[in-house]
Structure 1
Amino acid sequence: MDGSNKNAENSILPIVQSQRERYRIRAQELEAQTLSQQQQVTLLQNEMDKLRSDNVKLYEKIRFLQSYPTKTPGSMEDGTEHRYSSQYEERLDPFSTFSRKEKQRRYMNLKPYDKITLSMGQFIMGNKVARTVTFFYTLLLHSMVFLVLYKLAHTEDCKRDLAVECHQKFADHMKKVHGEADDHFGH
Protein backbone atom coordinates (compact mmCIF):
# COMPACT_ATOMS: atom_id res chain seq x y z
CA MET A 1 0.00 0.00 0.00
CA ASP A 2 2.83 2.36 0.85
CA GLY A 3 4.63 1.62 -2.43
CA SER A 4 1.53 2.29 -4.53
CA ASN A 5 1.04 5.58 -2.71
CA LYS A 6 4.59 6.66 -3.63
CA ASN A 7 4.06 5.62 -7.24
CA ALA A 8 0.86 7.68 -7.38
CA GLU A 9 2.67 10.64 -5.85
CA ASN A 10 5.59 10.27 -8.26
CA SER A 11 3.28 10.11 -11.28
CA ILE A 12 1.25 13.15 -10.19
CA LEU A 13 4.24 15.25 -9.15
CA PRO A 14 5.53 16.01 -12.69
CA ILE A 15 2.02 16.90 -13.82
CA VAL A 16 1.53 19.31 -10.92
CA GLN A 17 4.98 20.81 -11.47
CA SER A 18 4.38 21.37 -15.18
CA GLN A 19 0.99 22.90 -14.43
CA ARG A 20 2.57 25.19 -11.84
CA GLU A 21 5.25 26.21 -14.34
CA ARG A 22 2.59 27.02 -16.99
CA TYR A 23 0.65 29.11 -14.48
CA ARG A 24 3.81 30.92 -13.43
CA ILE A 25 4.68 31.74 -17.05
CA ARG A 26 1.10 32.85 -17.74
CA ALA A 27 1.15 35.07 -14.62
CA GLN A 28 4.39 36.68 -15.79
CA GLU A 29 2.88 37.26 -19.24
CA LEU A 30 -0.19 38.86 -17.69
CA GLU A 31 1.94 41.05 -15.41
CA ALA A 32 3.97 42.22 -18.40
CA GLN A 33 0.79 42.90 -20.35
CA THR A 34 -0.70 44.84 -17.42
CA LEU A 35 2.46 46.90 -17.04
CA SER A 36 2.46 47.63 -20.77
CA GLN A 37 -1.17 48.73 -20.67
CA GLN A 38 -0.55 50.93 -17.63
CA GLN A 39 2.33 52.59 -19.42
CA GLN A 40 0.16 53.09 -22.49
CA VAL A 41 -2.63 54.61 -20.39
CA THR A 42 -0.13 56.95 -18.72
CA LEU A 43 1.30 57.91 -22.10
CA LEU A 44 -2.17 58.58 -23.52
CA GLN A 45 -3.17 60.56 -20.43
CA ASN A 46 -0.06 62.72 -20.75
CA GLU A 47 -0.73 63.21 -24.46
CA MET A 48 -4.36 64.13 -23.73
CA ASP A 49 -3.27 66.66 -21.09
CA LYS A 50 -0.75 68.14 -23.52
CA LEU A 51 -3.38 68.40 -26.26
CA ARG A 52 -5.83 70.04 -23.87
CA SER A 53 -3.16 72.54 -22.86
CA ASP A 54 -2.32 73.18 -26.53
CA ASN A 55 -6.00 73.76 -27.30
CA VAL A 56 -6.32 76.27 -24.48
CA LYS A 57 -3.21 78.08 -25.76
CA LEU A 58 -4.69 78.12 -29.26
CA TYR A 59 -7.90 79.56 -27.88
CA GLU A 60 -5.83 82.21 -26.11
CA LYS A 61 -4.30 83.14 -29.44
CA ILE A 62 -7.76 83.24 -31.04
CA ARG A 63 -8.92 85.63 -28.35
CA PHE A 64 -5.88 87.77 -28.92
CA LEU A 65 -6.51 87.91 -32.66
CA GLN A 66 -10.21 88.59 -32.11
CA SER A 67 -9.37 91.62 -30.02
CA TYR A 68 -8.26 93.38 -33.23
CA PRO A 69 -11.12 94.88 -35.16
CA THR A 70 -12.00 92.98 -38.34
CA LYS A 71 -14.70 93.35 -40.91
CA THR A 72 -15.84 89.70 -40.81
CA PRO A 73 -16.49 88.28 -37.38
CA GLY A 74 -15.10 84.74 -37.22
CA SER A 75 -16.63 82.19 -34.94
CA MET A 76 -16.40 78.44 -34.61
CA GLU A 77 -19.86 76.98 -34.96
CA ASP A 78 -19.31 73.50 -33.52
CA GLY A 79 -19.05 74.51 -29.84
CA THR A 80 -15.29 74.13 -29.72
CA GLU A 81 -14.82 77.78 -28.93
CA HIS A 82 -17.22 77.60 -26.00
CA ARG A 83 -15.59 74.48 -24.56
CA TYR A 84 -12.09 75.95 -24.62
CA SER A 85 -13.20 79.41 -23.58
CA SER A 86 -14.39 78.06 -20.24
CA GLN A 87 -11.12 76.18 -19.75
CA TYR A 88 -9.20 79.30 -20.69
CA GLU A 89 -11.14 81.44 -18.23
CA GLU A 90 -10.66 78.85 -15.48
CA ARG A 91 -6.95 78.76 -16.13
CA LEU A 92 -6.75 82.54 -15.75
CA ASP A 93 -8.72 82.56 -12.50
CA PRO A 94 -6.33 81.72 -9.63
CA PHE A 95 -9.20 81.37 -7.15
CA SER A 96 -10.91 78.59 -9.09
CA THR A 97 -7.57 76.80 -9.51
CA PHE A 98 -6.89 77.05 -5.78
CA SER A 99 -10.43 75.97 -4.97
CA ARG A 100 -10.19 72.94 -7.26
CA LYS A 101 -6.83 71.90 -5.77
CA GLU A 102 -8.16 72.40 -2.24
CA LYS A 103 -11.23 70.25 -2.95
CA GLN A 104 -9.01 67.54 -4.42
CA ARG A 105 -6.74 67.63 -1.36
CA ARG A 106 -9.69 67.37 1.02
CA TYR A 107 -11.19 64.54 -1.01
CA MET A 108 -7.93 62.58 -0.85
CA ASN A 109 -7.87 62.99 2.97
CA LEU A 110 -11.35 61.48 3.38
CA LYS A 111 -11.82 57.98 4.74
CA PRO A 112 -13.10 55.40 2.21
CA TYR A 113 -16.61 55.32 3.67
CA ASP A 114 -16.77 59.13 3.51
CA LYS A 115 -15.70 59.01 -0.15
CA ILE A 116 -18.45 56.48 -0.87
CA THR A 117 -21.03 58.59 0.95
CA LEU A 118 -19.94 61.73 -0.90
CA SER A 119 -20.02 59.97 -4.26
CA MET A 120 -23.48 58.55 -3.58
CA GLY A 121 -24.74 61.95 -2.45
CA GLN A 122 -23.35 63.65 -5.55
CA PHE A 123 -24.86 60.96 -7.77
CA ILE A 124 -28.27 61.24 -6.14
CA MET A 125 -28.26 65.03 -6.19
CA GLY A 126 -27.03 65.17 -9.77
CA ASN A 127 -29.56 62.73 -11.23
CA LYS A 128 -33.31 63.41 -11.31
CA VAL A 129 -34.25 59.73 -11.54
CA ALA A 130 -31.98 58.86 -8.60
CA ARG A 131 -33.54 61.66 -6.53
CA THR A 132 -37.04 60.39 -7.32
CA VAL A 133 -36.17 56.78 -6.53
CA THR A 134 -34.46 57.82 -3.28
CA PHE A 135 -37.46 59.92 -2.25
CA PHE A 136 -39.95 57.11 -2.81
CA TYR A 137 -37.62 54.55 -1.24
CA THR A 138 -37.30 56.72 1.87
CA LEU A 139 -41.06 57.26 1.97
CA LEU A 140 -41.70 53.51 1.64
CA LEU A 141 -39.11 52.68 4.29
CA HIS A 142 -40.56 55.15 6.79
CA SER A 143 -44.09 53.91 6.11
CA MET A 144 -43.01 50.34 6.75
CA VAL A 145 -41.31 51.30 10.02
CA PHE A 146 -44.40 53.16 11.21
CA LEU A 147 -46.66 50.24 10.24
CA VAL A 148 -44.46 47.74 12.07
CA LEU A 149 -44.38 49.93 15.19
CA TYR A 150 -48.16 50.40 15.03
CA LYS A 151 -48.71 46.65 14.62
CA LEU A 152 -46.33 45.90 17.50
CA ALA A 153 -48.07 48.41 19.79
CA HIS A 154 -51.51 47.07 18.82
CA THR A 155 -50.43 43.45 19.41
CA GLU A 156 -48.90 44.26 22.81
CA ASP A 157 -52.08 46.15 23.77
CA CYS A 158 -54.21 43.16 22.76
CA LYS A 159 -51.97 40.77 24.73
CA ARG A 160 -52.22 42.95 27.83
CA ASP A 161 -56.01 43.21 27.52
CA LEU A 162 -56.25 39.45 27.02
CA ALA A 163 -54.05 38.80 30.08
CA VAL A 164 -56.20 41.12 32.24
CA GLU A 165 -59.38 39.47 30.97
CA CYS A 166 -57.96 35.97 31.57
CA HIS A 167 -56.87 36.92 35.10
CA GLN A 168 -60.34 38.34 35.84
CA LYS A 169 -62.09 35.20 34.54
CA PHE A 170 -59.79 33.03 36.62
CA ALA A 171 -60.54 35.11 39.73
CA ASP A 172 -64.30 34.93 38.99
CA HIS A 173 -64.05 31.17 38.46
CA MET A 174 -62.15 30.69 41.71
CA LYS A 175 -64.69 32.77 43.58
CA LYS A 176 -67.68 31.07 41.99
CA VAL A 177 -66.48 27.46 42.12
CA HIS A 178 -64.33 27.42 45.22
CA GLY A 179 -65.96 30.12 47.21
CA GLU A 180 -64.78 33.09 49.20
CA ALA A 181 -62.45 31.03 51.41
CA ASP A 182 -59.94 30.36 48.63
CA ASP A 183 -59.54 34.00 47.82
CA HIS A 184 -55.75 33.73 48.16
CA PHE A 185 -55.56 32.62 44.47
CA GLY A 186 -57.39 35.74 43.26
CA HIS A 187 -56.12 39.10 44.35
Structure 2
Amino acid sequence: RCAELQIQLTEAVSGLAGQKELVAKLEHDLSTIQALSAVHRPDAEGAAIPSLEKIPEPIKEATALFYGHPPSPSAPFPEGQVDSLLSIISSQRERFRARNQELEGENRMMQHTVHALQSELDNLRADNIKLYEKIKFLQSYPGRGSSRDDTELRYSSQYEERLDPFSSFSRKERQRKYLSLSPWDKATLSMGRLILSNKTARTVAFFYTLLLHCLVFLVLYKTAWSESVGRDCAAFCAKKWV
Protein backbone atom coordinates (compact mmCIF):
# COMPACT_ATOMS: atom_id res chain seq x y z
CA ARG A 1 0.00 0.00 0.00
CA CYS A 2 2.82 2.40 0.88
CA ALA A 3 4.64 1.59 -2.39
CA GLU A 4 1.48 2.22 -4.44
CA LEU A 5 0.94 5.57 -2.76
CA GLN A 6 4.57 6.45 -3.38
CA ILE A 7 4.15 5.67 -7.10
CA GLN A 8 0.97 7.76 -7.27
CA LEU A 9 2.77 10.60 -5.49
CA THR A 10 5.61 10.48 -8.03
CA GLU A 11 3.16 10.52 -10.94
CA ALA A 12 1.26 13.45 -9.42
CA VAL A 13 4.48 15.41 -8.90
CA SER A 14 5.60 14.78 -12.49
CA GLY A 15 2.16 15.79 -13.80
CA LEU A 16 2.25 18.94 -11.70
CA ALA A 17 5.67 19.84 -13.10
CA GLY A 18 4.40 19.35 -16.66
CA GLN A 19 1.34 21.51 -15.98
CA LYS A 20 3.54 24.25 -14.53
CA GLU A 21 5.74 24.21 -17.64
CA LEU A 22 2.66 24.41 -19.88
CA VAL A 23 1.23 27.32 -17.87
CA ALA A 24 4.56 29.15 -18.11
CA LYS A 25 4.60 28.64 -21.89
CA LEU A 26 1.01 29.88 -22.22
CA GLU A 27 1.78 32.95 -20.12
CA HIS A 28 4.80 33.67 -22.30
CA ASP A 29 2.70 33.39 -25.46
CA LEU A 30 0.03 35.59 -23.91
CA SER A 31 2.56 38.27 -23.04
CA THR A 32 3.87 38.11 -26.62
CA ILE A 33 0.37 38.63 -28.04
CA GLN A 34 -0.33 41.49 -25.64
CA ALA A 35 2.90 43.17 -26.71
CA LEU A 36 1.97 42.77 -30.37
CA SER A 37 -1.53 44.16 -29.80
CA ALA A 38 -0.01 47.36 -28.41
CA VAL A 39 1.99 48.03 -31.61
CA HIS A 40 0.66 50.87 -33.80
CA ARG A 41 -1.10 49.63 -36.95
CA PRO A 42 -1.55 51.59 -40.23
CA ASP A 43 -4.87 53.38 -40.75
CA ALA A 44 -5.19 52.38 -44.39
CA GLU A 45 -7.97 49.88 -44.97
CA GLY A 46 -6.73 46.52 -46.17
CA ALA A 47 -3.11 47.26 -45.20
CA ALA A 48 -0.95 44.36 -44.06
CA ILE A 49 -0.17 43.87 -40.40
CA PRO A 50 3.53 42.90 -40.26
CA SER A 51 3.60 42.62 -36.47
CA LEU A 52 1.19 39.65 -36.45
CA GLU A 53 3.75 37.56 -38.32
CA LYS A 54 5.61 37.17 -35.03
CA ILE A 55 2.74 35.23 -33.45
CA PRO A 56 3.81 31.61 -32.74
CA GLU A 57 2.64 28.98 -35.19
CA PRO A 58 0.68 26.88 -32.61
CA ILE A 59 -1.42 29.93 -31.73
CA LYS A 60 -2.08 30.64 -35.41
CA GLU A 61 -3.18 27.04 -35.97
CA ALA A 62 -5.44 27.11 -32.90
CA THR A 63 -7.05 30.34 -34.07
CA ALA A 64 -7.57 28.98 -37.58
CA LEU A 65 -9.20 25.81 -36.26
CA PHE A 66 -11.37 27.87 -33.92
CA TYR A 67 -12.78 29.89 -36.80
CA GLY A 68 -13.31 26.83 -38.99
CA HIS A 69 -10.78 27.29 -41.80
CA PRO A 70 -7.37 25.69 -42.38
CA PRO A 71 -4.30 27.64 -41.31
CA SER A 72 -2.74 29.83 -43.97
CA PRO A 73 0.78 31.01 -43.20
CA SER A 74 0.60 33.91 -45.65
CA ALA A 75 -2.88 35.26 -44.73
CA PRO A 76 -2.96 38.07 -42.13
CA PHE A 77 -5.08 37.78 -38.98
CA PRO A 78 -8.10 40.04 -38.51
CA GLU A 79 -7.93 42.22 -35.45
CA GLY A 80 -11.01 40.61 -33.88
CA GLN A 81 -9.42 37.17 -33.90
CA VAL A 82 -6.57 38.32 -31.67
CA ASP A 83 -9.01 39.51 -28.98
CA SER A 84 -10.94 36.23 -29.17
CA LEU A 85 -7.69 34.32 -28.93
CA LEU A 86 -6.72 36.27 -25.81
CA SER A 87 -9.96 35.29 -24.09
CA ILE A 88 -9.47 31.62 -25.08
CA ILE A 89 -5.91 31.53 -23.74
CA SER A 90 -6.92 33.34 -20.54
CA SER A 91 -9.70 30.85 -19.83
CA GLN A 92 -7.36 27.95 -20.60
CA ARG A 93 -4.76 29.39 -18.26
CA GLU A 94 -7.34 29.64 -15.48
CA ARG A 95 -8.34 26.02 -16.04
CA PHE A 96 -4.73 24.88 -15.85
CA ARG A 97 -4.17 27.00 -12.75
CA ALA A 98 -7.18 25.39 -11.06
CA ARG A 99 -5.89 21.96 -12.10
CA ASN A 100 -2.47 22.78 -10.65
CA GLN A 101 -4.04 23.78 -7.36
CA GLU A 102 -6.01 20.53 -7.34
CA LEU A 103 -2.85 18.50 -8.01
CA GLU A 104 -1.00 20.34 -5.25
CA GLY A 105 -3.82 19.49 -2.85
CA GLU A 106 -3.68 15.83 -3.89
CA ASN A 107 0.10 15.89 -3.46
CA ARG A 108 -0.22 17.20 0.10
CA MET A 109 -2.86 14.58 0.89
CA MET A 110 -0.66 11.78 -0.48
CA GLN A 111 2.33 12.99 1.53
CA HIS A 112 0.17 13.05 4.66
CA THR A 113 -1.04 9.52 3.85
CA VAL A 114 2.53 8.29 3.31
CA HIS A 115 3.63 9.73 6.67
CA ALA A 116 0.63 8.15 8.38
CA LEU A 117 1.35 4.76 6.80
CA GLN A 118 5.03 5.01 7.75
CA SER A 119 4.16 5.72 11.38
CA GLU A 120 1.66 2.85 11.33
CA LEU A 121 4.34 0.55 9.89
CA ASP A 122 6.75 1.55 12.66
CA ASN A 123 4.09 0.85 15.27
CA LEU A 124 3.35 -2.56 13.75
CA ARG A 125 7.05 -3.42 13.73
CA ALA A 126 7.32 -2.48 17.41
CA ASP A 127 4.24 -4.58 18.20
CA ASN A 128 5.71 -7.55 16.34
CA ILE A 129 8.92 -7.28 18.34
CA LYS A 130 6.89 -7.28 21.56
CA LEU A 131 4.99 -10.34 20.36
CA TYR A 132 8.27 -12.10 19.60
CA GLU A 133 9.43 -11.27 23.12
CA LYS A 134 6.33 -12.99 24.49
CA ILE A 135 6.90 -15.99 22.20
CA LYS A 136 10.47 -16.29 23.44
CA PHE A 137 9.25 -16.09 27.03
CA LEU A 138 6.79 -18.93 26.39
CA GLN A 139 9.46 -21.01 24.66
CA SER A 140 11.65 -20.76 27.75
CA TYR A 141 9.35 -23.19 29.58
CA PRO A 142 10.23 -26.91 29.35
CA GLY A 143 8.40 -28.99 26.80
CA ARG A 144 8.19 -26.25 24.18
CA GLY A 145 9.44 -26.94 20.67
CA SER A 146 12.53 -25.15 19.43
CA SER A 147 11.54 -24.96 15.75
CA ARG A 148 11.34 -21.47 14.27
CA ASP A 149 9.83 -20.14 11.08
CA ASP A 150 11.08 -17.29 8.90
CA THR A 151 8.98 -14.70 10.72
CA GLU A 152 10.48 -15.56 14.11
CA LEU A 153 13.98 -15.56 12.66
CA ARG A 154 13.44 -12.15 11.08
CA TYR A 155 12.21 -10.57 14.29
CA SER A 156 14.81 -12.40 16.36
CA SER A 157 17.62 -10.19 15.04
CA GLN A 158 15.55 -7.05 15.63
CA TYR A 159 14.80 -8.22 19.15
CA GLU A 160 18.48 -8.83 19.89
CA GLU A 161 19.41 -5.41 18.51
CA ARG A 162 16.74 -3.86 20.69
CA LEU A 163 18.20 -5.55 23.78
CA ASP A 164 21.69 -4.29 22.96
CA PRO A 165 21.45 -0.80 21.40
CA PHE A 166 25.26 -0.52 21.17
CA SER A 167 25.77 -3.68 19.09
CA SER A 168 25.04 -2.05 15.74
CA PHE A 169 27.20 0.94 16.67
CA SER A 170 30.06 -1.37 17.67
CA ARG A 171 29.80 -3.27 14.38
CA LYS A 172 29.89 -0.04 12.40
CA GLU A 173 32.92 1.18 14.35
CA ARG A 174 34.77 -2.10 13.82
CA GLN A 175 34.00 -1.97 10.11
CA ARG A 176 35.24 1.62 9.91
CA LYS A 177 38.45 0.74 11.74
CA TYR A 178 39.00 -2.26 9.47
CA LEU A 179 38.58 -0.18 6.30
CA SER A 180 41.11 2.37 7.57
CA LEU A 181 43.87 -0.27 7.99
CA SER A 182 46.71 -0.73 5.51
CA PRO A 183 46.76 -3.82 3.24
CA TRP A 184 49.44 -5.64 5.26
CA ASP A 185 47.59 -4.90 8.50
CA LYS A 186 44.42 -6.34 6.95
CA ALA A 187 46.35 -9.46 5.88
CA THR A 188 47.80 -9.89 9.37
CA LEU A 189 44.41 -9.41 10.99
CA SER A 190 42.75 -11.89 8.62
CA MET A 191 45.44 -14.48 9.27
CA GLY A 192 45.12 -14.02 13.02
CA ARG A 193 41.34 -14.40 12.83
CA LEU A 194 41.74 -17.54 10.72
CA ILE A 195 44.19 -19.11 13.17
CA LEU A 196 42.15 -18.22 16.25
CA SER A 197 38.83 -19.39 14.79
CA ASN A 198 40.00 -22.92 13.84
CA LYS A 199 41.27 -25.55 16.28
CA THR A 200 43.44 -27.30 13.68
CA ALA A 201 44.97 -24.00 12.60
CA ARG A 202 45.76 -23.14 16.21
CA THR A 203 47.46 -26.53 16.73
CA VAL A 204 49.53 -26.20 13.56
CA ALA A 205 50.53 -22.64 14.46
CA PHE A 206 51.58 -23.72 17.97
CA PHE A 207 53.82 -26.58 16.79
CA TYR A 208 55.20 -24.50 13.93
CA THR A 209 56.18 -21.72 16.35
CA LEU A 210 57.69 -24.28 18.76
CA LEU A 211 59.69 -25.86 15.93
CA LEU A 212 61.02 -22.48 14.81
CA HIS A 213 62.13 -21.64 18.35
CA CYS A 214 63.86 -25.02 18.74
CA LEU A 215 65.62 -24.54 15.41
CA VAL A 216 66.83 -21.08 16.40
CA PHE A 217 68.09 -22.39 19.76
CA LEU A 218 69.94 -25.27 18.06
CA VAL A 219 71.60 -22.93 15.56
CA LEU A 220 72.68 -20.56 18.32
CA TYR A 221 73.96 -23.46 20.45
CA LYS A 222 75.95 -24.92 17.52
CA THR A 223 77.46 -21.53 16.73
CA ALA A 224 78.45 -20.94 20.35
CA TRP A 225 79.84 -24.48 20.65
CA SER A 226 81.91 -24.07 17.46
CA GLU A 227 83.37 -20.80 18.67
CA SER A 228 84.14 -22.32 22.08
CA VAL A 229 85.88 -25.34 20.51
CA GLY A 230 87.86 -23.03 18.27
CA ARG A 231 89.06 -20.96 21.18
CA ASP A 232 89.98 -24.08 23.20
CA CYS A 233 91.96 -25.51 20.26
CA ALA A 234 93.78 -22.23 19.77
CA ALA A 235 94.67 -22.05 23.46
CA PHE A 236 95.84 -25.72 23.50
CA CYS A 237 98.02 -25.23 20.44
CA ALA A 238 99.51 -22.06 21.88
CA LYS A 239 100.45 -23.84 25.13
CA LYS A 240 101.90 -26.87 23.32
CA TRP A 241 104.11 -25.11 20.81
CA VAL A 242 105.22 -22.14 22.84
In the superposition, the TM-score normalised over structure 2's length comes to 0.39
TM-score with structure 1 length normalisation?
Answer: 0.49
Whose Rg is larger?
2
| More helix as a share of residues | 1
Higher relative contact order (CA 8 A, sep 6+): 2
